[in-house]
Every structure is written in structure tokens, then in C-alpha cells.
Structure 1
Amino acid sequence: MLFALGALAAAAAAYLAVGARGDLGFILMFRGSKLLALITVAVAVAVSTVVFQTLSNNRILTPSIMGFDALYLLIQTALVFFLTGLGFAYLDPFSKFALDTGMMLGASFLLFGTLLRNSRDLSRMILTGIIFGVLFRSLTGLLNRMIDPSEFSVVQSASFARFNSVNADLTWLAAGITLLVTGWLIYRHRTLDVIALGRETAINLGVNHDREARHLLALVALLVSVSTALVGPVVFFGLLAAALTNQVAGTWRHIVLLPLSGLIAATILVGAQTLFERVLRLQTSVSVVIEALGGLAFLYLILRKASR
């Protein structure tokens, strides 16, 4: 844990200091808000993935499988389609953040309330989420074909996580929500430990598994919605962070897993952003590379599980 904290501190210091020229106060303030956004997204994605894997008892699943990223892309495409690219660009950031977060939360609560009458329906809920993800992507493709070709680039820019153009005020709002939710999940770490033993065991130990599963899924949906609304969709990043956490943690206790996953994810994201933006001077989105690494981790986990 201390090593992970030290690694994050080193990555954050490098992000703030490398290539800093001119007014140091302005640079630190400007880079500090971006650093906070990177850490917020990393913690939200990693913690939500660990909790979702605990609930589903499956280490190759992530909350993105529920179709959050597909719904987000559908929302962005629909906004560009109905408001045009210019109207989309002039949307109030807080209104857009509230719309994105509210619609994703509303969709998740509708899915949970309809299908999750008890936690044994979790597999059915996941399959339904996959189907809805396919539906959202199909509708997005339809709108893309109907949209003005000159405005398609606006939709493309919203298809990837954007860490270089994050509103500072929204960052503080998202960071506050993430801090509160993560702190509450860490506080309930004993309940998560019991749930990880399985439904029947948890019930025998006095945990109301069905109620706790609904509450935890709601918090997972909130974390995913906030991080996605802030920077855009990140599909496999959480899987990469969770896989690394499970490899190095050496324990199944969530008092270790939750903070450690946040530290590892933040170190990866901040370190990669520092390398690409400050050292290599590349203009490509670092999310593309991280998603590729997460995809490879996903394939590795599937192949390893299939070989057993």
C-alpha cells in the first residue's frame, strides 16, 4: 500500500513539474485541476470495477458491460443530431454533466428495479445490460448515418475519454462525489468481504444480500456515471486496474483492495498522461493506449480461465 502511494506521489510530482516553465503558480493551478480529474476518474473506475466484480463473483466483468459507455455515446450523438455541432459546443457544462449523469443513473436504476428483484437475478441483469448495450450502439450507428458529415467529427471526439479538456468546476464536483462514495464503500468493507463469500454464505452470516446488492449496484452506477460524464467512456481501464490489484494485493479483504485499486489506477493514468503529454509530446489520446492494455488484460484473463 505504501509503495503504491509513493508511486502515485512520484507520478503526480512528475506530471506537475516536468516541462514547467513561466509562472509556476499558474502552471501548478492549471495542471493541478487536470491532475485531480485524472485521479478522480481513475479512482471511480477502479473502485466501481472491484465492487462490481465482488457482486458478480467474476473477475473478468466490469460495469461497462452494462452498457454505460454505449448509452453515453448515444446521448452525445443525439445531442449533436438535434442541436447541431454548434449548439452542442455551447451547451452549459453543468447542464450537460447533469444530463449525462442523470440519464445513465436513471437507466441503471430502471434496469436494477425491473430485473433485480433478488440477487439471484444478477446474471439475467448483466445479460440484459449487454443486450441494451448492443441496442444503444445500433441506435448510435443509425444517428451517425443521419447526421451532417461536417458534424461527425464532434461525435468522434466524444467517443474517447478526454483528459485534456475537463472543466475545473465539474472536476471538483465529480471529485467530491467520488470521495464520498469511495469513503462509504471502504467503511462498509466488512460487508463486501462477506458478500464476496457468496450469496448463501452471506445470508447465513446475517447479511441481507439482496438489499446490499441493490445499494452497492446503485453506488457503482453513480461512480461510473460521474466518471463517464466527466471525461467520456473508458471500457477496459477498470479491468486492467482490478487485475493488477488482485495480483499484487495478496488478500481478498476490501479494506486493502478498494484503496489499493484506486492508487494503482491513478498511478497508471497519471504516469501514462505524463509520458505521452510531457515527455513524448504526442497528441494522441492516452485513453486509446490504456484501453488497448485493458483489452489485452481481458483476453489474458479469459484465456487463463479457459485453460483451467
Structure 2
Amino acid sequence: MATTLLVLVPVAVVLAVGAGAVAVSPAHVVEIVRHHLTGSVPDVPAAEDQIVWAVRVPRVLLAFVTGAGLAVAGATLQAVVRNPLADPYVLGVSAGASAAAVVVLTTGVGGGIAGGVAGGLGVSGAAFCGGLLTLGLVLLLGRQHGRVDPTRLLLAGVALGYLFQAVTSYLQLRQGGAKLQAVLFWLLGTVASAQWSSLWLPAALVAVCTGWLIVRARTLDALVLGDEVAASLGLRAGWLRVQLLVVAALLTAAVIAVAGGVGFVGLVAPHAVRLLVGTGHRLLLPLAALAGGVFLVLADLVGRTAAPPVELPLTVVTAVAGVPFFLVLLRRGGART
């Protein structure tokens, strides 16, 4: 599977960059990217160079980074809380980030819609801070007898998630027209406003956090077996769980801040990989990152080419395309057990 994903990543990226209202051949895409990386002179039209490098490459890379970050966060949370239904949104981080972003979008604070739905500094900053604030509240409410309890953690996350969803719904009800459409589009996920300037920070955070988690893969394996097993291995389960939750929340908040509320990737990608390669996190985490990245790149490709000139939000595509694929994998995995 690893080899297949390593081949799929560049193929999916090149195809996604070349597809659109102005089609660009894979050979020209490769030539343009090589030109900008090496400084050579491209033998392609200037318009294609501008479309590919300034518009499509940042968009496709942001989609890949977002999918990878959500997949890794989902795999981590499923291990930390020992719940196969856990995803990056189960702790309410997404709801808190969305509520903060919608406040900016609907009130105009920090640039609002004029600053760009997904890429505006005010919206992104508010979403990131809202996600981290929600994590702090969840950790505070999830403590029992001086340690973080997984059940209380989930309950606190679900409760806060409903609270922030109520705030978001109330703010939506007060809007109308183009502003409401922009809010709804952001809540369902979009990388349409991707720019090079909005790519570097989430890419760096996803790379660093994923690397940190891979180094601690054995810790995640131990936590899946329970706190007693972790303690027998000399691990401080409570403190490790807090660290892992913070890292997973950072991943989630970083990608939501620039891509909106992309759903389903953090649930389906880790499970799909787990059904194929097993539960060991040293292999699961990097493969889930690749699978999530490719999945969201293809979802964005479908979303912007399926019904032009209308562009579909990412969550619409990930759910419609991902659920049948995941159910087929689940059925095959169940048949082998």
C-alpha cells in the first residue's frame, strides 16, 4: 500500500493542477513546476505558467496538507480516547474554530469576507485561536482526580461542540444573501482562496506534528491497550494523553483555519488505512497522511470540475464519494476477520 500511495501522490497532484476551466497538460505542469524550482526557462505559454504556479499549485498543495493533517489528527484521537468513532471534531475543536471564524465573517472584524473566506488573516487567526481555546476548555472539564479521563473528555467535547454549533447557527440566522452563502461555504470546507502565503504555516505545523507523532508511535500503540499497559511500560499515560491531544488539536486548528470545516477525512482515512495495513501507528500515521492528502486533492478536483461554473464545498464531495468507498473497505475487512 505504501508504494501505491507514493505513486498516487504525484499523479493526483499533477492531474489536479492541470484540470480546470483552462486545461494544462501534465507535461506542461511538470515543466512549469521545474522552472519555478530550478530557475530554468519554461517552454510554455505565460498564461499557463501564471494559472498553474500562482493559482492551482497552492490550492492543490493546501488540499493535500489539509487532508494529511486531518487524517493524522483523526488517527491520533482514535488512539488517545480509545474510540473508533473519534475524529478531529469529536473534542469540539472544529466547532469552536468555526464559531470564532463565523463571528469574524458575520461582523466584519479583522477583515471579514473582504479578507477572503478561507485565506483572510482575520478569519484564519480567529479560527485557530477558537480551536485552541476550545481545547483548553475540554482539557479543563475532562480532568478527574488530577488526570485526564477519556470518557469525560469526550463528553466535554460533545457538549462544547453543541454549544458552539448553536452560536454558529444563531449567527447564520441573522445573515442573508452573499454573506450567508460565504459562511455556509466556509463551514463545509474550501481551499478556493489558497495562496502561497497561506500555505507555509499549516504545512510546517502538519509536517512537524506528524513527525513528532511518528516518533512516538509506540506510545500510541500502548495507549490503545489501556492506561494500565502504558503504566507497565513506564509511561505516564495521563501526561502523554494531554501532549497528544494538544498536538492533534494543533493539527486540526491549523488546517481548519485555512480550509474551513472539512468533514469526514479524519474519520475515513485512518480507518481505511487501518483495515489494509493493521493498527501499528509507525506505519499507520504516515500512510494515513498520504491517503488523507490524496483523498482531499481528488475531492477538491471533483468539487471544482463536476458542475462548472458552480464549485462544490469539500465536505459535500468527501461524504458522497468517501462513504461508499469506506463501506466497501469495511465489508471486505469484516469478511477477512
TM-score, structure 2 normalization: 0.80
Task: Tell me if structure 2 keeps the 8 A contact 1:119–1:210.
Answer: yes
Counterpart-to-counterpart distance in 1, 2:172 and 2:114: 20
2:124 corresponds to 1:100: no
Residues 46-92 of structure 1, C-alpha deviation per residue, up to 9 Å, x if partnerless? 000000001111212212122233223322332244338x9512348
Counterpart-to-counterpart distance in 1, 2:274 and 2:147: 24
Greater CA drift, 153-162 or 207-216: 153-162
Q: 1:74 to 1:103 in 2, by over 3 A?
A: closer
Q: 1:279 to 1:128 in 2, by over 3 A?
A: closer
Query: 1:49 matched to which residue of 2?
Result: 74
For residue 171 of structure 1, report the CA deviation from its aligned partner: 1.0
Query: 2:276 matched to which residue of 1?
Result: 248
Counterpart-to-counterpart distance in 1, 2:49 and 2:172: 43
The 5 A counterparts of 1:44-193 are: 44-83=69-108, 88-91=112-115, 93-117=120-144, 121-147=149-175, 151-193=179-221
For residue 260 of structure 1, report the CA deviation from its aligned partner: 0.4
Q: For the aligned residues, what is the CA RMSD? A: 2.9
2:288 corresponds to 1:261: yes
For residue 203 of structure 1, report the CA deviation from its aligned partner: 0.5
Task: Tell me if structure 1 keeps the 8 A contact 2:148–2:241.
Answer: no
The 5 A counterparts of 1:217-296 are: 217-249=245-277, 251-278=278-305, 281=308, 283-294=311-322
Counterpart-to-counterpart distance in 2, 1:218 and 1:232: 20
Q: Which has the higher contact order (CA 8 A, sep 6+)?
A: 1
For residue 212 of structure 1, report the CA deviation from its aligned partner: 0.3
For residue 158 of structure 1, report the CA deviation from its aligned partner: 2.1
Structure with higher helix content: 1
Where 1:206 maps in the other structure, the secondary structure is: coil
Query: 2:51 matched to which residue of 1?
Result: 27
Counterpart-to-counterpart distance in 2, 1:171 and 1:91: 16
Structure 1 unmatched runs, 5+: none
Q: 1:35 to 1:126 in 2, by over 3 A?
A: same
Percent identity for Structure 1 against Structure 2:
23
Counterpart-to-counterpart distance in 1, 2:147 and 2:323: 28
Structure 2 unmatched runs, 5+: 26-44
Q: 1:148 to 1:38 in 2, by over 3 A?
A: closer
Task: Tell me if structure 2 keeps the 8 A contact 1:20–1:27.
Answer: no
Query: 1:12 matched to which residue of 2?
Result: 13
